[in-house]
A and B are shown apart, each in its own frame.
Chain A
């Protein structure tokens, strides 16, 4: 009996197994801004407007910009502003130096929930 126990323990040690797959974190899905429009007011000022389905879980909005200097050559997407008023769906952005010429600006907006989760970005080019 003792021999059987010793051998069984050794067999179990040899037959190690990986952990089970953990469940995904239970977090509210961040709503994605829809119908994003970017209106060029002047070379340094842009008006962003969007729609949002559910603001109950939203804490703030993050606004990004990217400039296409040449076809296929773009600057990295950078966060340029934070809008903390969750009911606001229209924001006027003023860039520091203005767009390089020729340059097409793309703006993106994402929502950040009260659980600190950033949702998918909605992007649109300046008109």
Chain B
């Protein structure tokens, strides 16, 4: 039980590092980007913190939903793919250590079996290929997350807040049969 707890702790701490880096990057962006940019300071700050929030603040609810959903999906995918990637890297590094120990044993004058060395190298190669495959997925989710974030920031900078015409909101049509009240919702 204690070994599993230690392994779990190590897995979580190794994943928190990249997440912390991103959180720190987001915080620095918020601190160093001027909040008065283009007069949309409130919307920009909101978008920097949470993708889609700035768009919601501007009244562009469809874009806000898409950007927020995309950020959640890519962020979750990034976290999962990072966990699996770290797992593969751990196994690869274990085999690397074993293989390296054969070199040390030989240098110390100990006899090493060629079969054991070859088996270890084959296993190390398999774990390396697994790590490479998982890295592709991790980078894909990372690119998607960065793209979502970038689109989110650029969009909030170039978009104008949606002005709702009061005349469009509510209208009443009267005819011989009666009257119709129309309420308009925009997303």
Question: When chains A and B are docked, how far (Å) is the Cα of A24 from the Cα of B113?
Answer: 14
Asked whether any CB of chain A lies closer than 8 Å to the CB of B93, the reply is: yes
Cβ-defined contact, B142 with A118, below 8 A: no
Of A9-17, A68-76, A95-103, the one contacting chain B is: A9-17
Give a binary string over A18-59; 1 marks a CB under 8 Å from any B CB, 0 the rest.
110110110101100000000000000000000000000000
State the main secondary structure of chain A at its contact with B. loop
Determine whether B181 belongs to the interface, using a CB cutoff of 8 Å to chain A.
no
User: In the complex, are the beta carbons of A7 and B112 less than 8 A apart?
Assistant: no
Q: A15–B32 contact, CB under 8 A?
A: no
Would you call A118 and B113 a contact (CB within 8 A)? yes
Which of chain A's residues 79-123 have a Cβ closer than 8 Å to chain B? 112, 115-120
Q: How far is the CA of A108 from the CA of B111 in the complex (A)?
A: 17
Say whether B96 contacts A118, CB under 8 Å.
no
Q: How far is the CA of A112 from the CA of B114 in the complex (A)?
A: 10
Query: Which residue from chain B places its CB closest to the CB of A60 in the assembled complex?
Result: B111
Contacts of B139 in A (CB 8 A): 15
Taking a contact as CB atoms under 8 Å apart, the answer to whether B18 and A21 are in contact is no
Q: Are A18 and B135 in contact (CB under 8 A)?
A: yes
Q: Per DSSP, are chain B's interface residues mostly helix, strand or loop, or mixed?
A: helix
Give chain B nearest CB distance to A84 CB in angstroms: 13
How distant is A99 from chain B, measured CB to nearest CB, in Å?
A: 27
- Contact in complex: B102, A116 (CB < 8 Å): no
The 10 A-B pairs at the shortest CB distance, nearest first, are namely A14-B21, A14-B18, A10-B25, A18-B89, A21-B128, A118-B113, A116-B111, A13-B21, A18-B131, A10-B21
Task: Please report the C-alpha to C-alpha distance between residue A21 and residue B122 in the assembled complex, in whole angstroms.
Answer: 11
B interface residues with partner A (beta carbon < 8 Å): 17-18, 21-22, 24-25, 28-29, 32-33, 89, 92-93, 96, 99-100, 102-103, 106, 109-115, 117, 121, 124-125, 128, 131, 135, 139, 142
Contacts of B93 in A (CB 8 A): 18-19
Are A116 and B114 also in contact (CB < 8 A) when A10-B25, A10-B28, A24-B121 are?
A: no
- The answer for the CA separation of A24 and B118 in the assembled complex, in Å, is 9
- Given A25-B102, A25-B103, A117-B111, A14 contacting B22 (CB threshold 8 A): yes
Most buried by A among B113, B125, B139, B142: B113
Q: How far is the CA of A118 from the CA of B33 in the complex (A)?
A: 64
**B-chain residues with CB within 8 Å of residue A29 when the two chains form the complex:** 114
Assembly CA distance A117 to B110 (angstroms)? 9
Let me know if A3 and B25 touch, CB within 8 A.
no
Question: With A and B bound together, what is the CA distance between A120 and B116 in angstroms?
Answer: 10
CB atoms of B92 and A18 under 8 A apart: yes
